[in-house]
Chain A
Amino acid sequence: MSDVIIQGTTTAHGHDAHGGHHGHEHHEQHFITKYIFSQDHKVIGKQFLITGIIWAIIGALMSVFFRLQLGFPNETFPIMEKFLGEWAKGGKLNPEFYYALVTMHGTILVFFVLTAGLSGTFANLLIPLQIGARDMASPFMNMLSYWFFFISSVFMFVSLFIQTGPASGGWTTYPPLSALKEASMGSGLGMDLWLISMALFVVSSLLGGLNYISTILNMRTKGMTMTRMPLTIWALFFTAVLGVLSFPVLFSGFVLLIFDRNFGTSFYLSEIFIGGKALPHIGGSAILYQHLFWFLGHPEVYIIMLPGMGMASEVLSNHSRKPIFGYTAMILSLIGITVLAFVVWAHHMFVTGMSPFLGSIFVLLTLLIAVPSAVKVFNWLTTMWKGNIRFTVPMMFAIGFVSLFISGGLTGLFLGNSALDIHLHDTYFVVAHFHIVMGVSAFFGMFAGIYHWFPKMFGRFMNNTLGYIHFFITLAGAYLIFWPMHYEGIAGMPRRYYDYSAWESFKNFESLNSFISIAAILVFFAQLIFVVNFFVSIFRGRKVMVQNPWGSPTLEWTTPINPGHGNWEGDIPEVYRWPYDYKDDGNGNDFIPQTTPLKADEHDGGH
């Protein structure tokens, strides 16, 4: 592992741990190469995280605006006019902009926060640190991955301010709605910017993913066999595999859409009369786009879930002071989920007119994916069983993750069964399901990760009291918002409606909608507690005084408190045992680091 290319280890950093943190160590590297165009995986990880946090605030604020409309359709909110100007004239949201907000909320949260912000952050931070590498396989490509994400973000952000508004056809942007300027205002320039931004996003994701995979496969330190890798790394590995194999398909779908929009092709268009005239397109299939979209779209759900699963496994084990239960079963279930993730996409399309026979195949495969998911839940529970649990903030979020994953996962059994989906499809039941499981639950995995590895990222702790407040408000709030939504969905209430008051069947949920909106707004403000805690703690948080504050056997805690570029000051440590050896080391510690050689009578860990 000595042939790893690095840019000069900043050894000064390690000794500097107790010193001031306001200076940016100009004597070592220029500010720009160190923090802006950095090739250090840890800095790139932080760049992804902070960009993700900014996007999360924007995306969540959008949900506040459209929840105000949904909860109080008859009121006006002058403050919205301040933020949105013409789009909320007189404090009343314009329907076109309502749809733009819904679309952007989805796009931002799914792609920019829970894909780039989540795996971008933790794959970058944890892969080299936990496998014992000085950096990624290609630090330069890694830097490009962030900057493609940044440019993609700029395009998406700019689209919010153009005259015709951003894309407004839903985050799935189904043609013909998204293909025809006549069909919707957001299908003009806003949609072009959306497609450009997403194309760049795919490039970013591929650059990152290829790097993660090659790093994990090639750059593990001596003794770090695949089966001695922490589950975080296994999860991030399969996340990258999913992304690399499915994002190109999405890209091709987008290219065809760009052609249909601008060059007169008919891939997705056929027999359309709009804007007072019949269009010349014949023979295309609107459903083709949905196949291409969901071929990524469904693996995307697991791209979002797997990092959280990996981190929750790590955090649950560490703070229960117990090895993860069923390490091998956990890896096998990850493999099962990854393989099945590629063959379930059409369960989003049961009611598109797709052949019912094809539908039944997808029912079978979809419900099959519940098996590895259930195995994971049982293993997490057994990991906590007979543990010695420390309720640190990351542990609280990991417990919340499991609770939400159960709740949101079980409702998937309704939607994956086409005979039930035929009524629930595109209702609030779907909204409730995916928000709990891949929205809030994935966020909880992310929060667990942030609170757990913040000391590694910044050499300081986040504030615990604020962390606990953040946890309880968010957990209770998530259930208060999304639990009742299932009822609305069972009653057939369609999603993506601007106003329900004209509907005899749905208007009786008006007071419930107000309740949900109030809860959503409270939860939004609770997230600002996190944001403040995060940014203030970077500079003012309690300092980490010991190298391994959580008592964890994994490699990242063998680096200095503030590791420089290159991570370890001397040689990269060698690994002798699996990452979950939570047993008496004979010196009063309840764990044995991976770097401790096996004793003569000892055999390696849990397998």
Chain B
Amino acid sequence: MMLVFVIIYQIAKASEYATILRGEEKINARVNRTMAWLLVAFFFLGLYGIFMCHQALIDRMLPISASEHGVEYDSMFLVTLVVTGIVFFITQTALFWFAYRYQASQKRTAFFYAHNNRLEIVWTTIPAIAMAVLVAIGLRNWGRMTGAAPKDAMVVEVVGKQFNWIIRYPGKDGALGKRDFRKINDANNVLGLDWNDKDNMDDVIAQNGELHLVVNKPVSLLIGSRDVIHDVGLPHFRMKMDAVPGIVTTIWFTPTITTAKMKEITGNKDFVYEISCDQMCGKGHYSMRGTVIVETQAEYDAWMAKQQTYYASANPAPAATPAEGAAPEQKTDSVKAITMK
């Protein structure tokens, strides 16, 4: 290996000495011209490369957004892409064009041009205006997606642990019961539900990380973690939120396309919405996978009817009947609840 480098170095050095022997001035002018041409060639090859890259990868991108605000997301992304694309093209073209056009020449001397305040003001103002527009669009969308969830939103809790997701549904009473991390027991109480809280009695827990949602029905996720920081990544819904031990974070969105429909759209019979863990959480981070099943209300009801309450499945004794008409106040495992607005 070293030998190869030594040889390359010797050849390169020889070429440099040859340069000096043949008259430095003349060869330097030739090298200069070659480099100017190579930069231009690089620019055009680069543009072609960008085009080829786009052609090759466009089919592998995400399908259309499967959530309501995701559609807004995509249009905002496009606006930003167009703005930055224009700037990219103009500045890169100028850079490589100037490099080629103003390569050293004996015939010309450089133009002594030290400053121009009007130009500075122009190119301070234009980016500032462009930024103001992008910020305005961004904050409008940000406000919408982080605003309060609609009243009729279903509530589901998603809890991360090394290295999988645990999903808790509130059951018939529509309320999640209190839980306490000191009551956690991997054998029969994975989330540390407090059995003194009647709201817990009908809660359903899916330990396989399968999140069932109803199409066109807003869902509010209460997100927590048992151990380290995780992150609920929902690329198809253009959503993401950290799962932080000790606090509860929330996101809400409205899924608009069922899993079955998305299989048709993508032409992929194995298509499935995935939950990726997007915050490094240890050696199994890359395998921390959950899934989302978006289905019709009827399908969801049928699925839910088949689920056993966690209390029943974790305890041999028969489950107590849940309290009637309990106020759906959501309780979680935290001293501090951070809600989105």
A323 touching B113 by the CB < 8 A rule? yes
Confirm or deny: A26 has a beta carbon within 8 angstroms of a beta carbon on chain B: no
Q: Is B111 in contact with A387, judged by CB distance below 8 angstroms?
A: yes
Q: Give the CA-CA distance A467 to B241 in the complex, in Å.
A: 46
Q: How far is the CA of A270 from the CA of B181 in the complex (A)?
A: 10
The verdict on B157 contacting chain A, using a C-beta distance below 8 Å, is no
Asked if A381 and B76 sit within 8 Å, CB to CB, the answer is no
Hey, which chain A residues are within 8 Å of B128, CB to CB? 368, 371
**Residue in chain B with minimal CB distance to A417:** B138
Are A529's CB and B5's CB within 8 A?
A: yes
Q: Is the CB of B182 within 8 A of A170?
A: no
Q: Is A496 an interface residue (CB 8 A)?
A: yes
Residue of B nearest to A185 (CB): B283
> Which residues of A lie under 8 Å from residue B239 when comparing CB positions?
422-423
Q: Which residues of chain B are within 8 angstroms of A283 by Cβ–Cβ distance? A: 246, 335
Query: Which one of A284, A326, A484, A542 has the highest number of Cβ atoms from chain B below 10 Å of its Cβ?
Result: A326
CA distance A584 to B80 in the complex (A): 45
Residues A528 and B181 in contact in the complex (CB < 8 Å), given A363-B135, A381-B98, A384-B102: no
Q: Report the bound CA distance from A532 to B135 in whole Å.
A: 47
Contact B87 A410 (CB under 8 A): yes
- B285:A498 contact, CB within 8 angstroms: yes
CB distance from A515 to the nearest CB of B (A): 9
Contacts of A544 in B (CB 8 A): none
User: Complex: how many Å from CA A367 to CA B49?
Assistant: 29
For the complex, give the distance between the alpha carbons of A502 and B15 in Å. Answer: 52
Cβ of B110 and Cβ of A387 under 8 Å apart? yes
Asked whether A504 lies within 8 Å of B272 as measured between CB atoms, the reply is yes
Q: Max chain A CB contacts within 10 Å: which of B50, B102, B277? A: B102
Given A184-B282, A388-B109: A466 touches B142 (CB 8 Å cut-off): no
Q: Among A9-17, A34-42, A126-134, A487-495, which stretch is in contact with chain B?
A: A487-495
Report yes or no: B127 in contact with A381, Cβ–Cβ below 8 A: no
Determine the distance from Cα of A155 to Cα of B69 in the docked complex, in whole angstroms: 49
Q: Is the CB of B142 within 8 A of A465?
A: no
> Do A492 and B233 touch across chains, with their CB atoms under 8 A apart?
yes
At the interface, yes or no: B303 with Cβ under 8 Å from chain A?
no
Taking CB atoms, residues of chain B closer than 8 Å to A386 are: 102, 110-111, 113
Complex contacts, A390 vs chain B, CB 8 Å = 28, 32, 104
Q: B36: nearest residue on chain A (CB-CB)?
A: A391
B186 within 8 A of A: yes
A270: which B residues are within 8 A, CB to CB?
245-247, 335
Q: Contacts A403-B95, A483-B50, A532-B5 given: A496-B285 contact, CB under 8 Å?
A: yes
Q: Select one of A273, A387, A419, A468 contacting B138, CB under 8 A.
A: A419
Kindly list chain A residues whose C-beta atoms are within 8 Å of the C-beta of B12: 463-466, 469
Q: Would B142 and A419 count as touching, CB distance under 8 A? A: yes
Q: Is the CB of A413 within 8 A of B341?
A: no
| Residue B208 is within 8 A (CB to CB) of chain A in the complex | no
Stretch in B115-123, B305-313, B314-322, B323-331 touching the partner: B115-123
Q: Which of B53-61, B167-175, B193-201, B211-219 is found at the contact surface with chain A?
A: B53-61
**Are A273 and B94 in touch, CB under 8 angstroms?**
no
A272 to B160, CA, bound (A): 12
Please, which residues of chain A bring their CB within 8 A of the CB of B77?
A: 414, 420, 490
Picked from A278, A322, A494, A528, the residue with its CB within 8 Å of the CB of B277 is A494
Task: Indicate if the CB atoms of A418 and B115 lie closer than 8 Å.
Answer: no
User: Which residues of the partner chain B approach A406 to less than 8 Å between Cβ atoms?
Assistant: 87-88, 91-92, 95
Q: Do residues A320 and B289 form an inter-chain contact, with CB atoms below 8 A? A: no
**Which of A414, A463, A508 is the one whose CB lies under 8 Å from B80?**
A414
B84: interface (CB < 8 Å): yes
Contact A95 B110 (CB under 8 A): no
Is A19's beta carbon under 8 Å from chain B? no
- Closest CB-CB distance, A381 to chain B, in whole Å? 5
B114, A607: Cβ atoms closer than 8 Å: yes
Chain B window 258-275, contacts with chain A (Cβ cutoff 8 Å), 1 for yes, 0 for no: 000000000010111010
Q: Is the CB of B73 within 8 A of A536?
A: no
Q: What's the minimum C-beta distance from A9 to chain B, rounded to whole angstroms?
A: 33
A contact residues around B161 at 8 Å (CB):
273
- Chain A: minimal CB distance from B200 (Å): 17
Residues of A within 8 Å of B61, CB to CB, are 487, 490-491
Question: Do A410 and B88 have beta carbons less than 8 Å apart?
Answer: yes
Q: Chain B: which residue is nearest A336 at the CB level? A: B124
How many whole Å from B281's CB to the nearest CB in chain A?
6
A217 to chain B, nearest CB (A): 25
| Residues B284 and A95 in contact, CB atoms below 8 Å apart | yes
> Shortest beta-carbon distance, A479 to chain B, in Å?
7
B202 within 8 A of A: no
A479-B49 contact in complex given A176-B245, A283-B335, C-beta closer than 8 Å: yes
| Contact size range, B | 35 or more
* A494 CB, nearest partner CB in chain B, Å: 5
Q: Which residue of B lies closest to A402 (CB)?
A: B95
Is B123 a contact of A426 with CB atoms below 8 Å? Answer: no
Among candidates A420, A464, A476, residue contacting B42 with C-beta atoms closer than 8 Å: A476
Q: Is residue A590 contacting chain B, with contact meaning CB distance below 8 A?
A: yes
The segment from A191-199, A233-241, A349-357 found at the interface with B is A349-357
Q: How far is the CB of A385 from chain B (nearest CB, A)?
A: 5
> Are A278 and B182 within 8 A (Cβ)?
yes
Which residues does chain B contribute within 8 Å of A161, judged by CB atoms? none
What's the minimum C-beta distance from B291 to chain A, rounded to whole angstroms? Answer: 9
CB-based contact B114/A327 at 8 Å:
yes
Contact in complex: B91, A466 (CB < 8 Å): no
Q: Are A96 and B244 in contact (CB under 8 A)?
A: no
| Interface presence of B39 (CB below 8 A) | yes
Neighbouring B residues of A403 by C-beta, 8 Å: 92, 95-96
Closest to A174 in B: B229
B108 at the binding interface (Cβ < 8 Å)? yes
Compute how far the CA of A502 lies from the CA of B290 in the bound complex, rounded to whole angstroms: 11
How many whole Å from A15's CB to the nearest CB in chain B? Answer: 24
B153 within 8 A of A: no
A425 at the interface (CB under 8 A from B): yes
CB neighbours of A387 from chain B (8 A) = 98, 102, 110-111
Question: Within residues 64 to 78 of chain B, which ones have a CB less than 8 A from any CB in chain A?
Answer: 73, 76-77
Contact in complex: A582, B112 (CB < 8 Å): yes
Interface stretch, picked from A57-65, A114-122, A372-380, is A372-380
Contacts of B188 in A (CB 8 A): none
Known: A286-B229, A370-B131. A381 touches B94 (CB 8 A): yes
A375/B73 in contact, CB under 8 A: no
- The answer to whether B145 and A419 have CB atoms under 8 Å apart is yes
Asked if A368 and B131 sit within 8 Å, CB to CB, the answer is: yes
- Indicate if A108 sits at the interface (CB-CB under 8 A): no
Taking the complex as formed, is A399 at the interface, i.e. its CB lies under 8 A from any CB of chain B?
yes
**3 residue pairs, one from A and one from B, having the closest CB atoms:** A492-B235, A606-B114, A270-B246
21 A–B pairs (Cβ distance < 8 Å), ordered by A? A270-B335, A272-B245, A286-B244, A287-B244, A320-B102, A325-B115, A327-B114, A367-B131, A385-B111, A386-B113, A387-B110, A399-B95, A406-B92, A413-B131, A414-B80, A464-B16, A465-B15, A490-B61, A490-B77, A491-B235, A532-B6
- B residues engaging A (CB < 8 A)? 5-6, 8-9, 11-13, 15-16, 28, 31-32, 35-36, 38-39, 42, 45-46, 49-50, 53, 56-57, 60-62, 73, 76-77, 80, 83-84, 87-88, 91-92, 94-96, 98-99, 102-105, 108-116, 119-120, 123-124, 127-128, 131, 134-135, 137-139, 141-143, 145-146, 161-162, 181-182, 184, 186, 192, 223, 226-229, 231, 233, 235-236, 238-242, 244-250, 268, 270-272, 274, 276-287, 289, 333-335, 338, 340-341
Q: Beyond A371-B131, A386-B110, A492-B233, list 6 extra A-B contacts (CB 8 Å).
A: A271-B245, A390-B32, A417-B80, A417-B134, A464-B16, A506-B276
Name A residues whose Cβ lies closer than 8 Å to a Cβ of B. 95-96, 99, 168-170, 174, 176-177, 180, 183-185, 269-274, 276, 278, 282-287, 320-323, 325-329, 351-353, 355-357, 359-360, 363-364, 367-368, 370-371, 374-375, 377-379, 381-382, 384-391, 396, 399, 402-403, 406-407, 410-411, 413-414, 417-420, 422-423, 425-427, 463-466, 468-469, 472, 475-476, 479-480, 483-484, 487, 490-492, 494, 496-500, 502-506, 508-509, 512, 528-529, 532-533, 536, 540, 542, 580, 582-584, 590, 605-607
